[in-house]
Amino acid sequence: MDVINAFAWIGANVLIAYIALIVLLFVFMYYIFFDPSATTAGKMIFRFMLSLVGVIGLVFIGIFIDPSRAHGPFQHPTDVEAWRPILRFIIYLYVAFTITALAVSLVMRKWFPHKVKKKSDLKLVKPRHDTSPIDIIEP
């Protein structure tokens, strides 16, 4: 069992490093090659991926820079630097905000398209069950 746990721990660390690189690559490429602020959905997807960069950064800190001993989920660890709980709270709050904004946007676009605020987004709103071609709006 120790061999499996060691393999799983090392494998997970390698995977988190790979995920961190791919997410960073995506964020840079999205920002460079596309205009994240062109639509509300594009802006929210960019913000969501940026929030994942923060989460992966926290995981990296927890594994390699400032690991803590095991504590319960509702106990403040006393063996970590003072800045970590604040940073964790800010990043997790941002992740929660971006996921909520994406979910609300999907609901608004699907069931309340008349309440979409940005005029350019109104022209792009098409129900998924509609098989007619979607007009592409040039900037």
Q: Which domain covers residue 15, as residue numbers?
A: 2-67+81-124
For residue 72, being part of any structural domain is answered with no
* CA nearest neighbour of 127 among 139, 115, 109, 114: 109
55, part of any domain: yes
As a whole number of angstroms, the distance between CA 26 and CA 29 comes to: 5
Question: pLDDT per residue over 87-129, tens digit each?
Answer: 878 888 888 888 788 778 777 777 887 777 765 555 554 555 6
pLDDT digits (tens, 9 = 90+) for 9-43: 677 777 777 877 888 888 888 888 878 888 877 88
Any domain includes 137: no
**Residue 134 falls within a domain, yes or no?**
no
Residue 40 lies in a domain: yes
Q: What is the CA radius of gyration of the chain?
A: 20
Helix (H) or strand (E) holding 74: none
pTM, entire model: 0.57
Residue 94, domain member (yes or no): yes
25 occurs within a structural domain: yes
Helices and strands per DSSP (H, E), number in the chain: 4, 0
Structurally, the chain folds into a number of domains equal to: 1
Compute the distance between CA of residue 131 and CA of residue 100 in angstroms, rounded to an integer.
28
CA–CA separation, 136 vs 139, rounded Å?
10
The structure tokens listed for 95 are: 């992740």
Helix (H) or strand (E) holding 101: helix 83-111
